Structure 1
């Protein structure tokens, strides 16, 4: 049976995830927005996507309920919007305009990441490293092609395999 985010009777919500390590974590907060929400014209590329990811990590650091540095599940980058080849005409136009200037070409070629940025604040009732603390938490940033819930199964696998003890921040009640 595949493990997924489960219903937790304590919270009366579907919010519990059991990590591969056996630790239970709870989704305390979920923020989502369209990845390309502000893109009014043009096609996203590596430079724009890198900037957007950094912007979302910075935003995640400032979210209420977020402590410590957020953890990024790196998004899948692709050269098409929905199906392979659907950006070929744009790619050809860019290659004609830029020519052999390799660095400029690579930065401007179309590149897409999944359409929804998700920022989840997770908590555990056990500390990650400091046994004098009461709990631990970790904010995770990931991208998927549709709004959650559900969380994309590939992302759930990534979440379950997180090294919580390395990345989470310990805290007190």
Structure 2
């Protein structure tokens, strides 16, 4: 089990993790702003994770104009501490683009990608 501590002080557990290559399906052509925005918009989490609140960390404008980072990462995070005490816990799916993993540990990739998330502003409470 992977646990991550966010900079906001929240401890979260990783329920799911997936990554892929940003331009993996590109058969011809080269990246441009229209293509990059389309790739960003259609990148989503696996449907078997069910209905979840999701945030996408938007690349900077220069990346959209030239080339996105080569890898996209998707993580489903869970906290057994709810935002509203009337619930059982809170959760969030986060999607971001970054460099290739190049032998990095999964924990380090996730930590770097999500550590600045403001949990209370983005996560959604749930009941069992």
Contact 2:96–2:113 (8 Å) recurs in 1: no
What is the Cα deviation at residue 156 of structure 1? 3.3
What is the Cα deviation at residue 65 of structure 1? 4.8
Unaligned runs of 5+ in 1: 1-10, 80-106
1:16 and 1:77 map into 2 onto residues whose CA distance is: 31
Structure 2 length normalisation: TM-score? Answer: 0.83
Deviations 1:97-118 (A, max 9, x none): xxxxxxxxxx9xx721111111
Indicate the residue corresponding to 2:3 in structure 1: 16
Number of residue-to-residue matches in the alignment = 125
Matches within 5 A, 1:2-41: 11=1, 15-41=2-28
* Higher normalized contact order (CA 8 Å, seq sep 6+, divided by chain length): 2
Indicate the residue corresponding to 1:135 in structure 2: 89
Say yes or no: does 1:71 pair with 2:26.
no
Contact 1:124–1:136 (8 Å) recurs in 2: yes
Residue 66 and residue 24 in structure 1: after superposition, are their counterparts in 2 closer, same or farther (change >3 A)? farther
2:93 and 2:74 map into 1 onto residues whose CA distance is: 7
2:113 and 2:125 map into 1 onto residues whose CA distance is: 21
What is the Cα deviation at residue 77 of structure 1? 5.9
RMSD across aligned positions (CA): 2.4
Structure 1 length normalisation: TM-score? Answer: 0.63
Higher-Rg structure is 1
